[in-house]
């Protein structure tokens, strides 16, 4: 069976739902972030480096969350229990994707621009080149694969890892956010 089709075994899923027993998990976005990332870190060996990286989780596991929390977080903590803890996903990969999307939904900073391909909203990201580790700011589409640099010729076609952007990063790269 392909690695990413692996089922989340009952033990891993039970341990994930056990997060609900922690009293303060939904008290703040920070608590929720710590609970989700804490779980991934605890089961990192069982989950495996490949799946963590495939889902882009390594870029957001150890951020200074409060610097990144969006004022317009798309996550309503009241609805989270029902949204992600009641139905076991078919694969471990899917569970990690849900966790990744959930964290991004708390920290994503949208730009004012729309995607030239599909009109989806573009949000800020940092591209870090895999070979030189050089970081530059760019935009990524919330719906399709489109991504581009802001301060350089349009398309970004080099191999790079994608990281979230804090308000401090926006200032650092001289980007004026309207939001």
Give me the residues that bind Zn ion (CB under 5 A), please.
115, 117-118, 120, 141, 143-144, 146
Residue 139 beta carbon to Zn ion: minimum distance, rounded to whole angstroms: 10
Residue 56 beta carbon to Zn ion: minimum distance, rounded to whole angstroms: 17
Name the pairing type of β-strands 135-141 and 160-163: unpaired
**Closer of 42 and 116 to Zn ion (Cβ):** 116
Q: Report CA-CA distances (Å) from 38 to 42, 62, 77, 114, 124.
A: 6, 10, 17, 34, 25
**Closer of 63 and 162 to Zn ion (Cβ):** 162
Name the pairing type of β-strands 110-114 and 147-149: unpaired
Residue 97 beta carbon to Zn ion: minimum distance, rounded to whole angstroms: 19
d(CA 51, CA 162): 16
- Find out whether 164 and 60 touch, Cβ atoms under 8 Å: yes
d(CA 81, CA 12): 17
**Closer of 144 and 172 to Zn ion (Cβ):** 144
Residue 140 beta carbon to Zn ion: minimum distance, rounded to whole angstroms: 9
Strand partners, 137: 126
**Closer of 11 and 117 to Zn ion (Cβ):** 117
Q: Can you list the alpha helix ranges (DSSP code H) found in 43-86?
A: 44-47, 49-54, 65-68, 77-84
Residue 144 beta carbon to Zn ion: minimum distance, rounded to whole angstroms: 3
**Closer of 43 and 146 to Zn ion (Cβ):** 146
d(CA 137, CA 146): 14
């Amino acid at each position: 069976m392909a690695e990413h089709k692996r089922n989340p075994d009952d033990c891993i899923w039970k341990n994930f739902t056990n997060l609900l027993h922690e009293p303060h998990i939904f008290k703040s976005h920070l608590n929720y972030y710590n609970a989700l990332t804490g779980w991934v870190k605890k089961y990192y060996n069982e989950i495996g480096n490949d799946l963590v990286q495939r889902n882009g989780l390594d870029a957001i596991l150890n951020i200074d969350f409060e610097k990144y929390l969006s004022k317009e977080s798309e996550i309503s903590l009241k609805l989270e229990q029902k949204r992600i803890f009641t139905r076991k996903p078919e694969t471990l990969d899917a569970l990690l994707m849900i966790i990744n999307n959930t964290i991004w939904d708390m920290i994503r900073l949208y730009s004012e621009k729309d995607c030239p391909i599909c009109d989806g909203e573009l949000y800020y990201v940092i591209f870090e080149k895999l070979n030189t580790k050089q970081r530059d700011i760019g935009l990524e589409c919330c719906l399709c694969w489109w991504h581009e640099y802001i301060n350089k010729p349009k398309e970004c076609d080099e191999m790079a890892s994608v990281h979230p952007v804090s308000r401090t990063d926006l200032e650092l790269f001289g980007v004026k956010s309207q939001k």
